Amino acid sequence: MTVQRDQAADFLRSVFDAAVASARPADCLPPHLPPPPRGRTVVIGAGKASAAMAQALEAHWPAPLTGLIVTRYGYAQPCSRIEVVEAGHPVPDENGLRAAQRMLALVRGLTADDLVICLISGGGSALASLPAPGLTLADKQVVNQALLACGASIDEMNCLRKHLSAIKGGRLAAACAPAKVVTLAISDVPGDDLAVIASGPTVPDPTSYADALAVVARYGLQLPQVVLAHLQAGIDETPKPGDLRFEGHEARLIATPQQALEAAAAKAAALGVQAYILSDRIEGEARDVALVHGALALQVAARKQPFAPPCVLISGGETTVTLRGHGRGGRNGEFLLALADMLRGHAGIYALAADTDGIDGSENNAGALLYPDSYSRAVTRNMPTMRYLDDNDSYGYFSALGDLLLTGPTYTNVNDFRAILITASS
């Protein structure tokens, strides 16, 4: 199979677009809507997909409703009955704090005849940030920045966030009692654990203050003394499984990373390329994950094992980056930088890595593309790949090569997407 550069790029972009399309709220949310209640319907929610989810709900809801959701700046969608607020991500800000306060106010005083629909997606942990009593937004900002830099997994990050929050870890659902809560969630976490997505504001929390303190110790986090004192005091633990306040509640996953990978694989097959899904829940340092993916791609190219080329290897999950430098970029760019250094321009291997929400880290790109000539073009420009990797500067590297993947907001989020196309044996 002989593939030109543009053909490879078009193919990889097509399978990525298919993954994103499979998680569009307009298509995946309506089948999961509950029947209207006898009383009021109140909609709340947070996440990068929450505005598009609210828009889809409005379009298909046959009864009156009111509500408030909070999404990332630039991710709002027009709604007529549900108020949409934009706030800071990945570091929380005042807009997110005020939105969380107003959500709590909206659900207080409801009755057993009322219904709360909670729209949850990735990013909700930062977007709806309401500090626990005695803590401030500034405290939460310090914690978030420390977590983003240390390489903690999303489970670990959200365990700590839950125990510093007035709404996460099931507290928001507890405030809705006695109204029924139906949570509709788009998963952005490995394993699709509803208690982890957006820090599980409407589902029971199996973690504890002791677990949160273990995260602090594991990564040597330097946190404000007031935060440490709050965790050590362990007062007012999050609601646990079996808590009667969750009786009758429902939680439904409306889109998942696995579904997105399957859609991408189907698209690849339609384009004449066999796809192999490696996993939807890969975690670990992005550069280490790249070494494993690269080794597999080279085995396919050189040995036709375990798959024969042409083929595409697809995976999802959420890698981490431990910040060592001062560059710009996200975990998908970091993955590709490490992959570029390993492959060193191996002929016939192309790759795309991107976040399905359209933002890799905090820059304007979803991710990037890697070509067989990327490494040589970087060398010609005096851009040693390892220097950029050591500085965590994937954005600078792929921007200089003109190989950033720019999609703009996708209004959904089913986590990282990686595709490695092996076109021929070496």
Do both 236 and 274 map to the same domain? no
Burial class (CB in 10 A: 0-12, 13-18, 19+), 80: exposed
Is pLDDT at 5 greater than 90 in this prediction? no
CATH code at position 402: 3.40.1480.10
Each residue of 20-29: pLDDT tens digit?
999 999 999 9
Structure tokens at 40: 């009021």
Each residue of 29-77: pLDDT tens digit?
999 999 999 999 999 999 999 999 999 999 999 999 999 999 999 999 9
Do both 403 and 347 map to the same domain? yes
Instruction: Examine residue 26 and state whether it is found in any structural domain, yes or no.
Output: no
Instruction: Examine residue 74 and state whether it is found in any structural domain, yes or no.
Output: yes
Mean pLDDT of 346-371: 95
Do both 102 and 219 map to the same domain? yes
Do both 315 and 341 map to the same domain? yes
Show which of 255, 282, 299 is a domain's final residue.
255
**Residue 226 confidence (pLDDT):** 97
Q: In what order do the strands lie in the sheet with 404-405?
A: 274-282, 311-317, 416-422, 349-355, 367-370, 404-405
Each residue of 62-117: pLDDT tens digit?
999 999 999 999 999 999 999 999 999 999 999 999 999 999 999 999 999 999 99
Do both 288 and 372 map to the same domain? yes
Cα within 13 Å of Cα(384), Cβ side: 4
Show which of 191, 223, 255 is a domain's final residue.
255
Cα–Cα dist 409/406, whole Å: 9
Angle at 260 between CA 51 and CA 77, to 5 degrees: 15
Mean pLDDT of 215-232: 97
* DSSP state string for 328-378: ---HHHHHHHHHHHHHSS-TTEEEEEEETTS-STTSS-SEEEE-TTHHHHH
Question: Coil, strand or helix: which one is 226?
Answer: helix
Do both 96 and 190 map to the same domain? yes
Do both 170 and 208 map to the same domain? yes
Mean pLDDT of 125-133: 96
421: enclosing H helix or E strand: strand 416-422
Residue 65 makes CB contacts below 8 A (sequence gap 6+) with 40, 41, 42, 43, 57, 58, 81, 82, 117
Instruction: Examine residue 15 and state whether it is found in any structural domain, yes or no.
Output: yes
Do both 208 and 349 map to the same domain? no
Is pLDDT at 129 greater than 80 in this prediction? yes
Q: Residues 11, 264: contact at Cβ < 8 Å?
A: no
Instruction: Examine residue 349 and state whether it is found in any structural domain, yes or no.
Output: yes
Question: Nearest Cα to 352, choosing from 426, 236, 267?
Answer: 267
Domain count, the chain: 2
Is pLDDT at 278 greater than 70 in this prediction? yes
Per the omega criterion (within 30 degrees of 0), is the bond before 204 cis? Answer: no
- Low-confidence winner among 41-55, 203-217, 412-426 (lowest mean pLDDT): 412-426
Instruction: Examine residue 49 and state whether it is found in any structural domain, yes or no.
Output: yes
Percent over 70 (pLDDT), the chain: 99
Each residue of 148-202: pLDDT tens digit?
889 999 999 999 999 999 999 999 999 999 999 999 999 999 999 999 999 999 9
Predicted model pTM: 0.94
What does R_g of the chain's alpha carbons equal in angstroms? 22
Average pLDDT, the chain: 96
Do both 243 and 332 map to the same domain? no
Do both 281 and 169 map to the same domain? no
Instruction: Examine residue 282 and state whether it is found in any structural domain, yes or no.
Output: yes
Range of the domain at 283: 5-21+258-422
**Residue 1 confidence (pLDDT):** 52
Instruction: Examine residue 138 and state whether it is found in any structural domain, yes or no.
Output: yes
Mean pLDDT of 357-372: 94
CATH code at position 232: 3.40.50.10180
Each residue of 325-357: pLDDT tens digit?
999 999 999 999 999 999 999 999 999 999 999
Show which of 209, 235, 255 is a domain's final residue.
255
Neighbours of 303 (CB within 10 A): 11
Instruction: Examine residue 367 and state whether it is found in any structural domain, yes or no.
Output: yes
Do both 302 and 204 map to the same domain? no
Q: Residues 159, 205: contact at Cβ < 8 Å?
A: no
Question: Nearest Cα to 406, choosing from 415, 416, 395?
Answer: 395
Do both 240 and 266 map to the same domain? no
